Structure 1
């Protein structure tokens, strides 16, 4: 399914716009369903800006103005009829997502793939009550979706693996390096590992072992140094497996296993902190420095993509024959 079929999307918030940008940049025509047609002007400006960034970074061959002409934005679900793939990216609400799927099932083919850009809701839960649950998959993107190579394709309890493999092939044609989860689990791969890390980070800060700044500094200069080059299993191969077993035996019993959210985080959120979006977070910001951090993050996202592309992930090996 790597031909340039028309792709449908649902939702054009920040992430939805970024997803639409990625698909447009890969050469597809896109039909985007929105709840309120008043969203159209703002979404078009946002997507055109994203496309312009891609052009400036050498990741888009056509002119942004020509590419955005391939985008149709509508508030009529019937306009998605005939689409082979529709990707939903709305709020993380089971009820709201299911309303979208039920509406889609009235207009699209029974074999058309529905993808949900969920970051935590189990796909099996989203499949419940659908006429054709086997064609619903989780398609987890990373922000900014039009820059990052990350994608997780998640099978729910009722998913047919054939559909997942079609999305994997399609995602590779979009410049992604997708991972496949053959069984559904809350949080998928990256969120489960990241939140385990966050739990331990809060444990160190809240118990006085280190400051926020020192935790960030250590991870940036150790984990941040190698993680783009190699995932944890490859890194253990590269640096000697046996030593890790010894550390695991000693360290695992002492790691935090709390099941409650950090008090420090609850207080920040209660105080209205959202991070750089409102210049209030773990660090102190002015509106100007917050905007500067957002700009730097975008620049870094392009730079890290280019760096990752320099280093192959598989040298003389076939993932299908991997033993781990």
Structure 2
């Protein structure tokens, strides 16, 4: 982290962006705030500058209407912690120029990322749509009294977690057999939750101002010490998992 911090310049003067080739917006997920920031950016940068947003869910095509050159506007969704994770989503808006997408995609590799390129803009992009689909099903099972929060987490940690970093879901299907998966799909797909409202358990947590480790109360309860331990463990684990993933060479981990 120290190496990154030594190259960091902190400023409130937008004129410091004048010589940048790429400007990345990382403000709150509120349209009015983003609009104000884009207005200030476009006043000081040249027409050749690429402006990107780190939004997690707002469609890039919607944000493009707030910049002067929408063809040079793109989404760059980083995974936390950004300095250590390999994943990055690059999202094209309806008006994003192909050469801009290609340049940012190559830049992501230069940064040591494994980027994905979303060619069709949609709410939630790729990783959030996959993750929240699983979260919806897990919350549905918990709310229905089928499983506990603890047991749901065990499934993610000790089943998916034991193979997903190595092979992802589709190589896993190849690994175990597509015919078997097809049979399972026929059985399970009709039974999966497809609700559009937020599950009651989550609504209730928000209503009582549960904020997880931030205030030691959420889907789990924490002491102040336990909250700190989980925060520290997350930082250490991310280093460990990045190191573990890097142990497997490109001929194993990359598609052919």
Give me the TM-score of the superposition, normalised by structure 1.
Answer: 0.76
Are 2:152 and 1:204 aligned? Answer: no
CA distance in 1, matches of 2:251, 2:96: 28
2:240 is matched with which residue: 303, 318, 322? 303
Who is 1:194 aligned against?
A: 131
The secondary structure found in structure 2 opposite 1:126 is helix
CA separation of 1:214 and 1:157: change in aligned 2, threshold 3 A = same
CA separation of 1:166 and 1:80: change in aligned 2, threshold 3 A = same
Who is 1:174 aligned against?
A: 111
CA distance in 1, matches of 2:36, 2:251: 41
CA distance in 1, matches of 2:169, 2:216: 33
CA distance in 1, matches of 2:188, 2:253: 35
Who is 2:207 aligned against?
A: 270
CA distance in 2, matches of 1:193, 1:315: 24
The secondary structure found in structure 2 opposite 1:71 is coil
Q: Is the 8 A contact 2:166 2:253 kept in 1?
A: no
Who is 1:162 aligned against?
A: 99
Are 2:172 and 1:235 aligned? Answer: yes
Are 2:45 and 1:101 aligned? Answer: no
Q: Is the 8 A contact 2:167 2:253 kept in 1?
A: no
Unmatched runs of 5 consecutive residues or more in structure 1 = 1-49, 52-63, 320-324
CA separation of 1:224 and 1:210: change in aligned 2, threshold 3 A = same
The secondary structure found in structure 1 opposite 2:153 is helix
CA distance in 1, matches of 2:254, 2:55: 32
2:22 is matched with which residue: 85, 90, 98? 85
Return the offset for 1:103: 1.6
Return the offset for 1:72: 2.0
1:147 is matched with which residue: 73, 76, 84? 84
The secondary structure found in structure 2 opposite 1:228 is helix
Structure-to-structure mapping, 1:57-68, within 5 angstroms: 64=3, 68=5
CA distance in 2, matches of 1:68, 1:193: 32
Give me the TM-score of the superposition, normalised by structure 2.
Answer: 0.95
Give the CA RMSD over aligned residues: 1.6
CA separation of 1:239 and 1:129: change in aligned 2, threshold 3 A = same
Return the offset for 1:68: 3.8
Unmatched runs of 5 consecutive residues or more in structure 2 = none
CA distance in 2, matches of 1:255, 1:172: 36
1:126 is matched with which residue: 54, 63, 73? 63
1:251 is matched with which residue: 182, 188, 212? 188
CA distance in 2, matches of 1:303, 1:158: 39
Return the offset for 1:70: 3.1
- How many residues get paired? 256
The secondary structure found in structure 2 opposite 1:147 is coil
Deviations 1:76-111 (A, max 9, x none): 111111210111111001221122112211111212
